[in-house]
Amino acid sequence: MSVKNSKKPNIVFILSDDQGPWAMGCSGNKELITPNIDRLAEEGIRFNNFFCVSPVCSPARASILTGRIPSQHGVHDWIRSGNIDYDSLSDEMKQFGSLKDESKPIDYLKGQLAYTEILAQNSYKCGMVGKWHLGNSVVRQKGFEYWSVLAKGGCKYFQPELIRNDKVVLGNKYVTDLITEDAVKFLDQSRDEDRPFYLSVHYTAPHAPWSKDDHPEEIWNLYKDCEFASVPNVPMHPWIIEGAKRFKGDKRREALQGYFAAITAMDRGIGRIIQKLEQTGLRENTVIIFTSDNGMNMGHHGIFGKGNGTFPLNMYDTSVKVPMLISLPDLSIKNEVCEEMLSHYDIMPTLLEYLGFENPVKEKLPGQSFMPILKGVKKAGREDVVIFDEYGPVRMIRTKEWKYVHRYPYGPHELYDLINDPDESKNLIGEDSCRQITLDLKGRLEAWFIKYADPAFDGSKEGVKGKGQLNLAGPAGKGNKNFYG
């Protein structure tokens, strides 16, 4: 069913960076201060089992936008190079070591249809503010006409590299506030237009860095007496990456305080966006969506990071589960919790059905619309729901009862009984009693990826180590080194 209004609804899509679903007050965390995120849950639907498509930023973001898996769009790791043209930088900007891996801009999603392009073709005004991190950041892409983005991916909170007037410049303000101000500016410019709008607000929070100097003192001090009992304090995972081994003792506390402060600062920005929608009369015809690119471990499983917080790369639920809140214009559904398993690759078909637009690549995409849930139906009407994830040569199949992780070509592989071991603490791979379920899940995993993976972008053949993507994957890379490490 499409929306019947004479004017299509506006959409504000808010994306956080490295936030697990555990990191919100509305999900039961009594230590985190997130009143505005909690309000969206109270005035809408909170999805308790929503998954990213890949547990790292750039592939996950590409999958949200295109509805494709990484083995279809070719972005398999966070984009380390291809964000900007290094030669065009000013002498001042070339001094910053954070840009040293850049060379020439790369259009990583060239030829990949995004749902924002379909919206733009149907008279939507599309805006993008914040973290793009999908290549060639200077150039407006994917139907966006309002474009105020960061130059690359992560940045220092008080010294972000920004794209302004087609140049890379250094910001001099807390980046969370800059992104919020850009969002509010877009809303002010769009309030009196006859056409609907779509606005992506992509925060860098709560991504590292997490030191005291990286966040406003007033917000930092909100957590000075916090015990951080909501976060596990367990021994380091044996696979933890070298850079995360420092998060012990005082360093653990500093990281958690910075992480919590970054979320609260972002929450205040979200509050400003909601307030602007209400003040301008736009809220009554605006869908607000809040999610994160991937999950996050802040001590969970002894890891500080997401899928690349370990090597081999991991697929723990804390890495692949994400927060997901949807608040509809008429607030017809309030304080609802959906337990159905869904994925970011379901967003594109859902939004297009909600808005009544055709999807010309529908048959090529793995996702399905969960429109019935937005109409008040408890479930989307699916049977045998299965979630698939991938991160380079690591692939996952997850049912409600089982999770199987396969690492090409040699392993190690994992199998978890999620009913009796929801924390994924006992790997059952190789046990005689689990031989048949292992074979069944492996077979389904292989069949699914054969159906959807493009051989030219097949992640199982790529040397992804979680240290960044340097070039186009597969043959499109023309023999160049594709991945760092």
pLDDT at 233 over 90: yes
Q: Give a yes or no: residue 201 inside a domain.
A: yes
pLDDT at 333 over 70: yes
Q: Give a yes or no: residue 478 inside a domain.
A: no
Lowest-confidence pick of 38-47, 249-258, 369-378: 369-378
SS (H, E, C) the chain: CCCCCCCCCEEEEEEECCCCCCCCHHHCCCCCCCHHHHHHHHCCEEECCEECCCCCHHHHHHHHHHCCCHHHHCCCCCECCCCCCHHHCCHHHHCCHHHCCCCCCCCCCCCCCCHHHHHHHCCCEEEEEECCCCCCCCCCCCCCCEEEEECCCCCECCECEEEECCEEEECCCCHHHHHHHHHHHHHHHHCCCCCCEEEEEECCCCCCCCCHHHCCHHHHHHHCCCCCCCCCCCCCCCCECHHHCCCCCHHHHHHHHHHHHHHHHHHHHHHHHHHHHHHCCCHHHEEEEEEECCCCEECHHHCEECHHHECCCCCCHHHHEECEEEECCCCCCCCEEECCCEEHHHHHHHHHHHHCCCCCCHHHCCCCCCHHHHCCCCCCCCCCCCEEEEECCEEEEECCCEEEEEECCCCCCEEEECCCCCCCCCCCCCCHHHHHHHHHHHHHHHHHHHHHCCHHHCHHHCCCCCCCECCCCHHHHCCCCCECC
- Each residue of 148-167: pLDDT tens digit? 999 999 999 999 999 999 99
- Each residue of 44-76: pLDDT tens digit? 999 999 999 999 999 999 999 999 999 999 999
Q: For residue 243, name the pLDDT band (cuts at 50, 70, 90).
A: very high
Q: Which pLDDT does position 330 carry in this prediction?
A: 81
**Into how many domains does the chain fold?**
1
Q: Give a yes or no: residue 173 inside a domain.
A: yes
CATH of the domain at 52: 3.40.720.10
**Average of pLDDT values for 99-111?**
96
* Residue ranges making up the domain that contains 92: 10-377
Q: For residue 96, name the pLDDT band (cuts at 50, 70, 90).
A: confident
Per the confidence metrics, is the pTM higher than 0.85? yes
pLDDT at 6 over 70: no
pLDDT at 173 over 70: yes
Q: Give a yes or no: residue 370 inside a domain.
A: yes
Q: Give a yes or no: residue 21 inside a domain.
A: yes
Q: Give a yes or no: residue 443 inside a domain.
A: no
**Average of pLDDT values for 241-260?**
97
**Average of pLDDT values for 376-404?**
89
Q: Give a yes or no: residue 83 inside a domain.
A: yes
Q: Give a yes or no: residue 472 inside a domain.
A: no
- Each residue of 81-95: pLDDT tens digit? 999 999 999 999 998
**Average of pLDDT values for 450-463?**
97
